[in-house]
Chain A
């Protein structure tokens, strides 16, 4: 183990280590430079980061409800507002003019505009009454939600409008 050689080796080792380190540093600088030039770093802008952090903080401030979102009845948003599961705002239906609740608007429209099963039957009853006399027997009576007394009464009277759901169809009355 010769002394001078050891010193030489130490110096040389340091030289090669510095060489490796410089290469690594250039790699890292090159990577960062590329990301900066291509605009791939989304956190670069201070303002963006502020907004993101403030949003996270808001979510965390409402912490009891943040974790209790699943537990409580109402869903809580990031501003801490609670919303009922069915929308409660009331407005006027543009078709029939009745005041309806927002959460119940779709089923209302079904009845109102004739897209649903019952509404369709109502329409066919009033428009094609003559045709439905013979064809609509038992299948229709199964749908009738209204009191069977009127329909039974009609049946007894031999009324052609037997079992129709809406009893206010006046054209059928004999």
Chain B
């Protein structure tokens, strides 16, 4: 019987320590040196406008369609296959695949498609900035 108060004391102490460590009333952690802007940037505003108006979705569909038409998608899939064959199909991660094809993908975009998309984005920017 003489041990039980000590036991309960230890238990209470550990609980108190635990709750102090993970208190829900803990003050917010200060930013670790990151510039936290309270105001959204112009870029962010435009992004939100793009998404909310549905224009981003339309642009995505347009880009996908153009890239399939010109065979760019097939080239990219073939490029993927070279990596898959090299590494073995069960050893490839999505991350590896993305990093593998991104440089070639960006470089092999036909100029006409790039110009078309840029033109559309720009006209949206002009109308959105007003």
Contact = CB atoms under 8 A, between A and B. Distances in A.
Interface of A: 5, 9-10, 12-18, 20-33, 36-37, 39, 41, 44, 46
Contact of B94 (A17, A30, A44): A30
Contacts of A15: 43
Given A16-B59, A20-B63, A25-B102, 13 more contacts: A9-B129, A12-B43, A12-B125, A17-B118, A20-B56, A22-B102, A27-B64, A28-B73, A30-B94, A31-B77, A33-B93, A33-B97, A39-B89
Interface residues on B, range: 35 or more
Interface in B20-49: 42-43, 46-47
A5 B77 CA distance: 38
Nearest to A46: B85
Contacts of B59: 16, 20
Interface of B: 42-43, 46-47, 50, 56, 59-60, 63-64, 67, 73, 76-77, 80-81, 84-85, 89-90, 92-94, 97-98, 101-102, 105-106, 109, 114, 117-118, 121-122, 125-126, 129
B84 A9 contact: no
A46 B88 CA distance: 12
23 contacts: A9-B129, A12-B121, A12-B125, A13-B121, A13-B122, A15-B43, A17-B117, A20-B117, A24-B60, A24-B63, A24-B67, A25-B102, A25-B105, A28-B101, A29-B97, A29-B101, A30-B94, A31-B77, A36-B84, A36-B92, A37-B90, A44-B81, A46-B85
